């Protein structure tokens, strides 16, 4: 997958859980709810229809109890290797009904490669233009996506071994 540093944000890490477990963490609602939002935010609902054109919906709750729904659509799925979705579309590839919840649309790709007994993990966020990319970076993309990856690893270690 080619990226464009002016338009994309990339987080690359090696983690010590297998691609199988990372894939499970990303594709089952009961796991998503455990790690998907940086504490003290929580993910209180999740719907996954794991096929191109299927829904990926989450509801995040702020520490103050405010709920933020977020609806997206899966685009490309290669089990244990690649997961791509966008919030520019919703179920059935329909253009999104909701306003962009971050103020802009993005497409995300999670790439997984075996690395010893662990995983080389690459998360990519693709944007329309530099302004959106820079806004997403300033919102704390790297810290946020890094933190939730640590939460994912801790959670899957607790259930997966």
Residues binding a copy of itself (CB under 8 A): 1-2, 7, 52-53, 75-76, 84, 86, 88-89, 92-97, 104-107, 126-129, 132
DSSP 17: S
DSSP 89: B
State in angstroms the smallest separation of the CB of 49 from a copy of itself.
Answer: 13
C-alpha dist (Å) from residue 66 to 18, 44, 61, 69, 109: 34, 11, 5, 10, 27
Provide φ and ψ at 138, rounded to 5°. -65, -25
State in angstroms the smallest separation of the CB of 88 from a copy of itself.
Answer: 5
State in angstroms the smallest separation of the CB of 6 from a copy of itself.
Answer: 12
State in angstroms the smallest separation of the CB of 132 from a copy of itself.
Answer: 8
Residue 81 vs 94, nearer CB to a copy of itself: 94
Dihedral-angle region of residue 67 (phi above 0 means left; psi in -120 to 50 means alpha; beta otherwise): beta
Residue 2 vs 117, nearer CB to a copy of itself: 2
Residue 58 vs 86, nearer CB to a copy of itself: 86
Residue 107 vs 119, nearer CB to a copy of itself: 107
CB 8 within 8 A of CB 133: yes
């Amino acid at each position: 997958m080619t990226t464009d540093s002016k338009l994309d944000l990339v987080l690359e890490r090696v983690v010590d859980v297998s691609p199988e477990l990372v894939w499970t963490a990303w594709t089952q609602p009961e796991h998503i709810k455990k790690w998907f939002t940086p504490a003290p935010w929580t993910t209180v609902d999740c719907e996954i229809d794991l096929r191109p054109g299927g829904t990926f919906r989450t509801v995040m709750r702020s520490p103050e109890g405010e709920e933020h729904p977020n609806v997206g659509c899966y685009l490309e799925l290669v089990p244990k290797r690649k997961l791509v979705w966008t919030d520019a579309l919703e179920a059935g590839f329909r253009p999104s009904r909701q306003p962009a919840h971050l103020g802009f649309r993005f497409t995300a790709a999670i790439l997984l490669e075996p690395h010893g007994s662990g995983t080389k993990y690459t998360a990519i966020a693709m944007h329309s233009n530099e302004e959106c990319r820079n806004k997403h970076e300033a919102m704390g993309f790297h810290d946020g996506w890094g933190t939730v990856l640590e939460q994912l690893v801790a959670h899957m270690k607790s259930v997966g071994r």
